Amino acid sequence: MRVLIVEDEQRVAENIAAALREGPGYAVDLAADGALGLDLASEGSYDLILLDLMVPRLSGLEVLGHIRKADRAVPVLVLTARSEKESVIALLNAGADDYMAKPFDLGELLARTKALIRRGKGVSHPQISIGNLQVDTLEKSVRLAGRLVDLSGTEYRLLEYLVHHPRSIVSKQTLLEHLYDYNWERHSNVIEAHMSNLRRKLFSHEPNADGSFIETIRGRGYRLSAHSVPAHSNEDLPAG
């Protein structure tokens, strides 16, 4: 998943970004002021925005207002030093999905970001099942017919994004925008390479699999189809 952090305190922003990259494995972009944050939010495709209320050039409340006026449904978690009841009500009325008062616990922030992203995808529980594929977004684990599949971090994120969009055709560009930050080379063939490895790990040793669980739609992208999940034998899937 891809997150935008709009925060002018550099150390705070970098600490949050490091935690999001190393823990959940999210792609993270940073903006040190509201104007840049709004530009990135308007141009990019984000699964969550962490928005400090007191940023220069445009305030967090102004940025939030522009995002909602543009009818963008991306979840927004506001970071604020204000905790008065009136301020909280104003934030929620302006379209904030949640808020945290500074100083905050980093572990709680991570938990809330995960919950907001799940909610934004229409998923209330961290365990998502499609056919006999189970993806645990809390543990970052994947099981097929109850057996653990060992995936790299990027392979997991690729599968997780497809699981959040079952039966929808997802373009390579969309996957690049959600899996990598703003500076990534958009024309790289990295998606094809990771997709090939993902399919191999899921299906190469399964005699009933034809690889169509993750379909390639020529010229358009990839699609996850629950109808193609194969039945499995009693043997564990290989770790690699």
Q: How far apart are alpha carbons 2 and 49 in whole angstroms?
A: 9
CATH of the domain at 175: 1.10.10.10
15 shares its domain with 70:
yes
H/E element holding 143?
strand 141-144
Is 184 within the bounds of a domain?
Answer: yes
What's the pLDDT at 182? 60
Q: Which of 178, 169, 164 is nearest to 214 (CA)?
A: 169
Name residues whose C-beta falls within 8 Å of residue 150's C-beta, 6 or more positions apart in sequence.
Answer: 201, 238, 239, 240
Q: Write the Ramachandran bin of 70: left for phi over 0, alpha for psi from -120 to 50, otherwise beta.
A: alpha
Domain region containing 104: 2-120
71 shares its domain with 16:
yes
Boundary residue ending a domain (120, 138, 172)? 120
106 shares its domain with 205:
no
Strand partners, 215: 223
H/E element holding 10?
helix 10-22
156 shares its domain with 107:
no
Q: How far apart are alpha carbons 116 and 98 in whole angstroms?
A: 8
Q: How far apart are alpha carbons 5 and 113 in whole angstroms?
A: 12
Is 12 within the bounds of a domain?
Answer: yes
Boundary residue ending a domain (91, 120, 149)? 120
Write the single-letter amino acid at 50: L
Number of structural domains the chain divides into: 2
111 shares its domain with 136:
no
Is 21 within the bounds of a domain?
Answer: yes
189 shares its domain with 116:
no
What's the pLDDT at 17? 94
What's the pLDDT at 172? 83
Is 185 within the bounds of a domain?
Answer: yes
7 shares its domain with 112:
yes
H/E element holding 91?
helix 85-94
Residues present in the chain in total: 240
Write the single-letter amino acid at 141: S
Per-residue pLDDT of the chain (240 residues; tens, 9 = 90+): 789 999 999 999 999 999 998 877 888 999 999 999 999 998 878 889 999 988 999 998 899 999 988 877 789 999 887 765 667 777 788 888 888 888 888 888 888 888 888 777 665 566 777 777 888 876 778 888 788 888 887 888 888 888 887 778 888 878 877 776 665 555 567 788 888 888 888 775 454 544 457 888 888 888 887 544 433 333 333 333
23 shares its domain with 133:
no
Boundary residue ending a domain (120, 152, 179)? 120
19 shares its domain with 113:
yes
What's the pLDDT at 52? 92
